[in-house]
Structure 1
Amino acid sequence: MDEQVLRASLLAPMLDASSGVALYRQLYEEMRQAILAGSLPAGVKLPSTRTLAQTLGVSRATVVLAFDQLLAEGYIYGKVGSGTYVERVLPDELLRLQDRRKGGQQTGEILPPAQPLSERGKMIAASTVAPLQKWEQVVQHQAFRHGIPALHEFPFKLWSQLAAKRWKHIQPSDFGYSDPAGYRPLRQEIARYLQVARGVRCTEEQIIIMAGSQQALHLAAQLLIDPGDDVWIEDPCYMGARGALVSSGAQLVPVPIDDEGLAVTQGIAISPRARMAYVTPSHQFPIGTVMSLSRRLALLRWADQAGSWILEDDYDSEYRYAGHPLASLQGLDQAGRVIYIGTFSKVLFPALRLGYLVSPPELIDAFRAARSAADRHAHMLDQMVTTDFMAQEHFARHVRRMRSLYEERQLILLEAARQQLGDNVCIKSATAGMNVLAHLPARLRDTEVAQQAAQNGVAVTPISKYYIQHPPLNGLLLGYAAYNQQEIQQGMQNLARTLQ
């Protein structure tokens, strides 16, 4: 091919030395696009690097670098003693796509739209873990977001000291792949803690370290549910659980919540052979009900007789202000039907992304395999530091301090609501957790109030968003754990202005 023709058809516009992009990169891009577009046909011989450099007015090194890149990516090839040619079979799928489109245009054929997602992929994409919101809004310190601990009160200096000490004594072997079930010393600490604080009956072998409770929910659903299986779920319910179950193909069976928790008899009447039940018995999310002992025993009896599984999500049981934390449902289980899930997101900090699952003995190997298939194992250093934090009693002290702080902040919120809201809103004190439920009068809709509140600088969540089927309560979820007295009072003033 004549180099002047190459210059006119291939490299116009000319290379721009002032563009900030290296000349060899510009030349590479021009030639690559020409090859894909067919301007340089397959099999055509290219000018020598010396000739092309003289024609373009650049150094030969520039052309050589461009040719080397094209050669490495499979766009051109060289023949010893003959020259350099455009590859006949190109690596890019782009060329085949262009040919298909051209063929469709020439024949008048309308090519069917691509289906990028599998059926399971569609279910995953359609699932929702939390109310949709922009992340730049989430990070703002704005009352009354729920589920956020008092991050300003966390002992980060101590945490960094523990991390630095670990880094100082870390071994080369710690940088390799590790047990998918997690760091054994951490599993030992968790097992001891759960036995004493939550009445969970387990050994360290049953503990599987997860990337937060959401991964535990997801893996449990993937392992134990086939598409179309009925699964009981609390109504209202935690969106993360709903998302994990829907993405596994489960057929959700909404079971109402009353003053004693999940209405087990109604669940049996609707779907007696459901494959699984998801519950938050110690502190129902989002209403806050505690499941009564009779309901717990009825649920366990049903699971045993039906051969079904129970997912017990114990997300914030550490924060109970009346008496000791309630014993877990798993501790009452005699048949091995309960899968217990816990997290450090509420008691330490969400960015840690560490949670755990207590597997029934017969499922240990399956959960270990599932954990390995998901992402091999959790971050080793984070597990080590968390182990030290627990083993040196910092964890227990931090929980006690936060329990006292959160109880105080709830009282501040209730008093601020009494002063600012008057009779417009009914807020009852909560015996546990990090949020309270504000009941609105019938003339107001919680979704509209939440939208208006956002414009006034208040982040509240409408409780109706958590319902699937049953008539929803009309109220707002108010988180208080992350906010000091001034922030709570200012937030309540803004909420009062919204209601007016």
Structure 2
Amino acid sequence: MHLDRAADMPLYQQVAAHLRARILDGALPAGSRLLGSREIARELGCSRAIVLTALELLYAEGYLVSVPRGGVKVAALARKAAPDAPSPAPGIEPARLSHRWRSVLAIDYAFDLASPFSTGTPDIADFPFDTWARLLRQAWRNAPRSACTDMSPLGWQPLREATAEFLGTVRGLLCRPEEVVITPASSGALDLCCRMLIDPGDEVWVEEPGFIEARWALQAAGARLVPVPVDGKGLVVAEGIRRAPRAKLAVVTPSHQFPLGVAMSLDRRLELLDWAQRQGSTVIEDDYNSEFRQRDSMAASLKSLDRAGHVVYLGTFSKVMLPSLRIGYLVASPAFIDVFGRGRARIDVHTAGTAQPALAEFLREGHLLRYLRRMRLVYAARKQAVLDAVQALLPGELDIVPSEAGLHVTGLFTPRLAARLTDTEASARSRAVSNFIQPLSQCFLGTPDRQGLVIGFGRLPVEDAHPRLAAVADALRATGSGQSGGPGAGAARRGR
């Protein structure tokens, strides 16, 4: 192994990525004993701290286990050998709408973007607007002709290059610019996938509970949604296989599940990839808010484990910069990219090009990385303020699901609170005191098996957490019913 000290990827991630790849390709089989951290550091010419950090990351991901007297060996991973499978082939009256869109618009979805507890909404107060404005002016003062005419359906080439570098640094996802497509945020990427991959009636796995806006795109494409339960280890793949073994697609949020916030375990990830390869199915990985992690280390993306080209990775800059930016990306195998590019040219040609040159420079000059480092500290403090307030104000009534990333936490109702009211009633009461909190039950496709509240903190100042949650706690204890969230609440979108 060679450490590239000039690369953007941190040295400990380079060490972890090398060992992870050797374990997955069988060069380091289960039970293999590694050299001691001092010996590895001496051979690589780096500090022992770098090696220890890499090993800790692989411990957390489940690749390594400790043995007596301080040794380290490769864990036994539950993997099944599977033959290579072929990639999938490439103001109106309601009566005038398609049946699919009528069903989507009929969904009653309570949401309030103005609420301080809005989920997944970043705070733009500290965004470097001066720098962004300078780059916009600079990009268009002497704009190249290629930026003024129709761009490639795949996106502005310098931005594709900068995005690939960004993903390598922030997510440890090593990809080439040719594997990147620039899209209208992650919702546009998902819409493109639905148009290109789904025929009406195709079965699609969705997480239960899960991200309701992803379901809208799938339903609009005519998919038959198959809810697959999520537990503390993420999507229960075995249950998905039992319910729909030949599903065409699976849509997952493995690194930061919405709404529960759990991360999918390594065994589940490998089980999901094994199923996709055997069935020739596609897995769409929505890497929801993983940039805002509260620890320096985190699990590798599902896409980084994909050896057969069955995973399409979605992400967005809108959630980490400005919601109105509306620029995202997908990462897929070259075969997918070719088909997606030709299909995109027949739909909306390309993503709006006004901001793409400026965004490429924003990434290359390191402004987004610095902004992310600063905002991670801000959001970590806000999350802790919410946790402290819940513990003080609702003891024994809300159990917070542990989560290491994102801009929200989910509190599950204890039997004591569930005996008094439902989460939809609790949400209505929170709206009545101007602190709307999303009910967990509306994230279920079927009958909810638990009640809870999805508490966002991205736009919640630390000093506001306790007084606002105190108002909510008082409302939950009050006698009488709260006000209804109302059907109009579903009109707002979170802008992914």
| Fold equivalence (TM over 0.5) | yes
SS of 1:302's equivalent? helix
- Out of 225, 232, 241, which is 1:268 matched to? 241
* Partner Cα distance (2:259, 2:405) in 1: 12
Matched, 1:457 2:431: no
Whole-angstrom distance in 2 between the partners of 1:186 and 1:385? 9
Measured after TM superposition, the shift of residue 299 of structure 1 is: 0.4
What fraction of aligned residue pairs are identical, expressed as a percent? 38
What is aligned with 1:243?
216
**Does 1:116 pair with 2:92?**
no
The reply to whether residue 442 of structure 1 matches residue 418 of structure 2 is yes
- Tell me if 1:417 matches 2:390: yes
Deviations 1:188-237, CA, capped at 9 Å, x for gaps: 01111223332334211111111011111111011111111111111111
| Distance 1:129-1:255 versus aligned 2 partners, 3 A rule | farther
Structure 2 counterpart SS, 1:228:
coil
Tell me how far 1:434 sits from its aligned partner.
Answer: 0.7
Q: State the Cα distance separating 1:493 from its structure 2 match.
A: 2.0
Q: Tell me, in whole angstroms, the C-alpha distance in 1 between the residues paired with 2:200 and 2:172.
A: 34
Residue of structure 1 in register with 2:320 after alignment: 347
Does the 8 Å CA contact 2:204/2:224 hold for their aligned counterparts? Answer: yes
Letter in 1 for 2:325: L
Deviations 1:296-339 (A, max 9, x none): 00000010001110000002111221341321111111111001
**Structure 1 residue corresponding to 2:380, chosen from 407, 418, 437:** 407
Does the 8 Å CA contact 1:284/1:290 hold for their aligned counterparts?
yes
Alpha-carbon distance in structure 1 between the residues aligned to 2:171 and 2:94: 51
User: Per-residue CA shift, 1:75-105, capped at 9, x if unaligned?
Assistant: xxxxxxxxxxxxxxxxxxxxxxxxxxxxxxx
Q: Match of 1:395, SS? A: helix
Q: Does 1:337 align with 2:310?
A: yes
Q: Which residue of 2 aligns with 1:3?
A: none
CA distance change for structure 1 residues 243 and 205 in 2, over 3 Å: closer, same or farther?
Answer: same
Q: Which has the higher contact order (CA 8 A, sep 6+)?
A: 2
Q: 1:442 to 1:173 in 2, by over 3 A?
A: closer
**Between Structure 1 and Structure 2, which shows a larger proportion of helix residues?**
1
Q: Give the corresponding residue for 1:281.
A: 254
CA RMSD between the two structures? 2.0
Secondary structure of the 2:158 match is helix
Instruction: Give 2:125's match in structure 1, choosing from 136, 139, 152.
Output: 152
Match among 250, 263, 271 for residue 290 of structure 1: 263
Aligned residues: 381
**Letter of the 1:247 counterpart:** A
Q: Is contact 1:318-1:325 (8 Å) kept?
A: no
Q: Secondary structure at the match of 2:125?
A: helix
Residues 356/401 of structure 1: CA separation in 2 closer, same or farther (3 Å cut): same
Q: How does 1:55-70 map to 2 (within 5 A)?
A: none
Q: Report whether the alignment pairs 1:491 with 2:480.
A: no
Q: Distance in 2 between matches of 1:370 and 1:299?
A: 27
Structure 2 spans left out of the alignment, 5+ residues: 1-92, 478-496
Q: Is the 8 A contact 1:279 1:312 kept in 2?
A: yes
Structure 1 residue 312 corresponds to structure 2 residue 285: yes
Q: Distance in 1 between matches of 2:340 and 2:188?
A: 11
Cα pair 2:294 2:376 within 8 Å, conserved = yes
2:156 paired with 1:183: yes
**By how many angstroms is 1:431 displaced?**
1.6
CA contact (8 A) 1:410 1:429 kept: no
What is the match of residue 426 of structure 1? 399
Note closer, same or farther for the CA distance 1:171–1:353 as it changes in structure 2 (3 Å cut).
Answer: same
Which structure has the bigger radius of gyration?
A: 1
Partners of 2:328 and 2:102 lie apart in 1 by: 23
Residues 319/116 of structure 1: CA separation in 2 closer, same or farther (3 Å cut): same
After superposition, what is the alpha-carbon deviation per residue over 1:337-377, rounded to whole angstroms, capped at 9, x for unaligned? Answer: 00111111221121100110112221212211232233221
